[in-house]
Amino acid sequence: MRKHPILLGMVIFLILLGIFIASILALSYFSTREESLFGREKIAIIEIRGVILDSQPVIEKLIKFRKNEKIKAIVLRIDSPGGAVGPAQEIYTEIKKVQREKKVLASVGSTAASGGYYIACAAEKIVANPGSITGSIGVIAETLNVEELLRKIGLRPTVIKSGKHKDIGSPTRPMTEEERKLLQEVLDNVHEQFIRAVAEGRQMPIEKVRPLADGRIFTGDQAKNLGLVDELGNLEDTVSLAAKLVGIKGEPEIIYPEKKKFSIWELLLQETIQKFFQGWKENIPPYIIFYLPHLNFLGADS
């Protein structure tokens, strides 16, 4: 029987291609798993990026890594200008719980300001680059008055409320002195909570923290001199420090949270839903339902 070298070559090529693809998929699968084939001691990385509006994803990762006995320490990689008060405080509290069982360190990327720094303070050590932006220990509430604009285009808002302060900060009328005082009291209270969290997390006297808590930002170098940061260095330096603190000898294995499998349908659906609700919020005045000025831990580049 006559042989067909071209056909045979194609069959061999397809077999080799299949083996190659299978190898790539296997490597990709194991690289995204929290459990690997290697027996080295592990350090987990949790990334906190962008404006902090939802605490649940970070808290879920903290809990998962806390329960994993093979993971000896957790490093928070923070690149955030801050965010909403509640989520930042929830993450801070969860980190404190994890600290009872495992070491948690914070690595500051380009920015860990305001709410980002609030979270970092819960870690045992904070490592920042010399040029990182941090600090911004403060709270801000913003509202916009559009009364004159509405008058020019012939719109007159009607507000129905259940109490005299229910529309506090409404953009359709000037803020009264009484309302300004009420909001200032709220901000001062949250600001005091922030100061105490920094003092507790950094183990600094509150009298030393208070003068620094006027909203100003610091470079990593300045923050280290002020006691707001422990060491200067990058993510790799933070991992090395974590390994040293927990007694890992040699190179630790770095574990990232398991990545969700990509789905083009899910991506499109998520984008559609997000755009729908964003448009809904932008076009329906929020003060008609539950209006409240935004209260945020926000810092540089926010």
The residues that are catalytic are 114, 166
DSSP characters over the chain: ----HHHHHHHHHHHHHHHHHHHHHHHHHHHH-SS-S--S-EEEEEEEESSB---HHHHHHHHHHHH-TTEEEEEEEEEE-EEEHHHHHHHHHHHHHHHTTSEEEEEEEEEEETHHHHHHTTSSEEEE-TT-EEE----EEE----HHHHHHTT-------SSTTTTTT-TTSPPPHHHHHHHHHHHHHHHHHHHHHHHHHHT--HHHHGGG-SS-EEEHHHHHHHTS-SEE--HHHHHHHHHHHHT--SPPEEE-PPPPPP-HHHHHHHHHHHHHHHHHHHHS-THHHH---EEEEE-TT-
Amino acid at 157: P
The CA distances from residue 89 to 94, 119, 148, 194, in Å, are 9, 7, 37, 9
For residue 46, CA distances in Å to 60, 107, 189 come to 11, 10, 30
**Number of C-beta neighbours around residue 157 at 10 A:** 15
**Contacts from 24-29 at CB under 8 Å and sequence distance 24+?**
none
- Chain-centroid distance of CA 115 in Å reads 8
